[in-house]
Amino acid sequence: MKTLLAVVEAGSFAGGATAVRRTQSAVTVQIRSLEAELGIELFDRSKRPPVLNEAGRRFMSKATEAVQAYDRLFYGNDEVPVEGNLALGVVPSVITGMMPKALVAMRANYPHLHVQLSMGHSAELVTRVRQGSLDAAIVSDLVEGSAGVEWHPFLREPLICIAPPDAPLRKAEELITTMPFIRYTRHAWVGELIDAFLKRRRLQVSEMMVLDTLEAVTTMVHHGLGVSIIPQRRLIDPNALAVRQLAFSGTATYRTVGLVHLPDNERVTLAETLLEELRKLTSGFDLDGPSRRSHPELTRPGPVNRGPSA
Q: What is the pLDDT of residue 288?
A: 46
**Which of 229, 233, 216 shows the shortest CA–CA distance to 181?**
229
Tell me if 282 is assigned to some domain: no
Q: Based on the number of CB atoms within 10 Å of its own CB, is 305 exposed (0-12), middle (13-18) or buried (19 or more)?
A: middle
Dihedrals φ, ψ of 111, to 5°?
-65, -15
Q: DSSP secondary-structure letter at 296? A: G
pLDDT for the residue numbered 239: 65
Angle among Cα 125, 130, 136 to the nearest 5 degrees reads 55
Return d(Cα 66, Cα 55) in angstroms, integer: 17
β-strands 51-52, 206-211: how paired? unpaired
Residues 163 and 77 reside in one and the same domain: no
pLDDT of 174 reads 95
Give the end of a domain, one of 81, 114, 146: 81
What is the pLDDT at residue 299?
33
The CATH number linked to 196 is: 3.40.190.10
**Where does a domain end: 81, 113, 138?**
81
- 149 is a domain residue: no
Q: Is residue 199 one of the residues assigned to a domain?
A: yes
Q: What is the CATH number of the domain that holds 77?
A: 1.10.10.10
How far apart CA 95 and CA 106 sit, in angstroms, is 15
Residue 252 CA to residue 288 CA, distance in Å, equals 13
Among the listed residues 252, 143, 142, the one whose alpha carbon sits nearest the alpha carbon of residue 201: 252
Q: How far apart are CA 68 and CA 75, in angstroms?
A: 10
Question: Distance between terminal CA atoms of the chain?
Answer: 40
> From CA 138, how far away is CA 99, in angstroms rounded?
10
Whether 135 is covered by a domain: the verdict is no
Mapped onto helix, strand or coil, the DSSP state of residue 10 is helix
What residues pair up with 152 in beta bridges, in sequence order? 259
Residue 195 lies in a domain: yes
Residue 72 has what pLDDT?
A: 66
Identify the domain boundary among 81, 109, 141.
81
Q: Is 57 exposed, middle or buried (0-12, 13-18, 19+ CB in 10 A)?
A: middle
* Residue 263 falls inside a structural domain: no
pLDDT of the chain along its 310 residues, tens only?
888 888 887 788 888 888 777 888 888 999 999 999 999 999 988 888 888 888 888 888 788 878 777 766 665 555 556 777 889 999 888 877 788 888 888 888 888 888 888 898 888 999 999 888 899 999 988 865 466 788 888 888 899 999 999 999 999 999 999 999 999 988 888 889 999 999 999 999 999 999 988 889 999 999 999 999 999 877 666 567 889 999 999 999 998 999 999 887 778 888 888 888 888 888 766 554 433 333 333 333 233 333 333 3
Cα 148 from Cα 130, distance rounded (Å): 8
Determine the Cα–Cα distance for residues 16 and 28; give it in Å rounded to an integer. 10
Q: How many domains does the chain have?
A: 2
Cα separation, 12 vs 4, in Å, equals 10
Pairing verdict, β 113-119 and 150-163: unpaired
What pLDDT, on a 0 to 100 scale, did the predictor assign at position 304?
Answer: 34
User: In sequence order, which residues have a C-beta less than 8 Å from that of residue 72 and are 6 or more positions away?
Assistant: 78, 80
E strand or H helix at 261, and its extent? Answer: strand 254-261
Residue 133 in any domain: the answer is no
Domain hosting residue 8, numbered range: 1-81
Q: Are residue 77 and residue 161 in the same domain, yes or no? A: no
Q: Are 244 and 302 in contact (CB under 8 A)?
A: no
DSSP character string of 31-47: HHHHHHHHTS--EETTS
Does a structural domain hold residue 112?
Answer: no
